[in-house]
Amino acid sequence: MSREPVRLDCGDGVARIGLAVPERKNAIDLELATALAEAVRTVAAMPDLGATVLYAEGDSFCVGGDLRTFADTTTPGALVGKVADAAHAAIRGLRALKMPVISAVQGACAGGGLGIALAADIVIAGSDARFRTAYTAAGLSPDGGVSWILTRTLGPARAADLILTNRQLDAGTAERYGLVSRVADNPLDDACKLAHSLARGPRQALAASARLVREAPTTTLEPHLDNEARQIAALADTAEGSEGITAFLEHRPADFGKARTRTQSKASNT
């Protein structure tokens, strides 16, 4: 490959991670999966970020695994396993980021690409977006957490229907099912605007809120209530929490950026 398969740029508190092999419809091979995992690790280690946008170049988000590379090897099982492991490292990393993650999806989104897109907290789909699991059509079973997220989002009946039949969902149906958050004419523009808005907001509260939502499907109510109580109490003692409460009582917009600056200034003086 003559260029990097994944792009990463950061500015104004927002990281943008882009799948950058449009001539292959961003099909996932080992190089792309490894590069995506590395980009996510880089974002996780960067300070002063408030949101991440996940996007793809070209007319398709990602068509899933690169079947041509799987067919060109004498040991396809070993290669598929390596690609899945690398893609799963990226997905785990996205779900662990201490900030909201927004994916912008256009065109075809299938197979492992579906798992990557749905790893985001908010999924903005273009009106041309098309979602398909695609695995069984290639004689394979799901990876990328697709069977996990579809079952938890849609329920077992719809998850089984989509996985076993490879039925395609258009953007409107995906929104109606709750698979995507919203449909937009220009999903990347909307995702970037939203990310910058979130980055200007109460970053600690947004990170904690995203984490609570991510954890909710795998915990029961009692420990989740305890976790919520700990989180809200801890946030009340932060500069952002103080600014938010004070601004509400003073009937003015909160300036969370200024609150963060005060916190950083105090930290640098200690």
Q: Is 45 helix (H, G, I), strand (E, B) or coil?
A: helix
Give the span between the Cα atoms of 68 and 82, in whole angstroms: 15
pLDDT at 3: 81
User: Which has the closest alpha carbon to 232: 244, 221, 250, 219?
Assistant: 244
The CATH number of the domain where 219 resides is what? Answer: 1.10.12.10
Domain around 238:
203-268
| Domain co-membership, 182 together with 261 | no
Residue 2: per-residue pLDDT:
55
- Cβ atoms of 114 and 144 closer than 8 Å: yes
The first and second tokens of residue 158, run together, are 């719809």
**Residue range 104-133: mean pLDDT, rounded:** 99
pTM reported for the whole predicted model: 0.94
- pLDDT-based confidence at 150, cuts 50/70/90? very high
Encode pLDDT of 234-243 as tens digits. Answer: 999 999 999 9
Are 93 and 162 in a shared domain?
yes
Q: Are residues 208 and 145 in the same domain?
A: no
Q: Are residues 193 and 224 part of one domain?
A: no
Read off the pLDDT of residues 41-68 as tens digits, 9 standing for 90 and up: 999 999 999 999 999 999 999 999 999 9
151 domain residue, yes or no:
yes
Beta bridge partner(s), residue 110 = 132
pLDDT of residue 159 exceeding 70: yes
Rounded CA separation 102/122 (Å): 5
Task: Answer yes or no: is pLDDT of 266 > 70.
Answer: no
Tokens of 198: 């979130």
In which element (H, E) is residue 56 found? Answer: strand 51-56
Q: Tell me how many domains the chain contains.
A: 2
State whether 184 and 237 are in the same domain. no
Which tens digit of pLDDT belongs to each residue from 197-233? 999 999 999 999 999 999 999 999 999 999 999 999 9
Domain identity same for 195 and 228: no
For residues 10 and 108, state if they share a domain.
yes
- CB atoms under 10 Å from CB of 82, counted, come to 15
Using CB atoms within 10 Å of the CB of residue 173, give its burial: 0 to 12 exposed, 13 to 18 middle, 19+ buried: middle
Q: pLDDT tens digits, residue range 12-35?
A: 999 999 999 999 999 999 999 999
Are 131 and 262 in the same domain?
no
Kindly tell me the burial class for residue 28, based on how many C-beta atoms sit within 10 Å of its own C-beta (0-12, 13-18, 19 or more).
Answer: buried
Compute the mean pLDDT over every residue in the chain, rounded to the nearest whole number. Answer: 96
Please answer whether residues 33 and 87 qualify as being in contact, where contact means their C-beta atoms are separated by less than 8 angstroms.
Answer: yes
pLDDT over 70 (residue 270): no
pLDDT at 204: 97
* Crossing angle (nearest 10°) for helices 203-215 and 221-236: 180
pLDDT, average across residues 101-130: 99
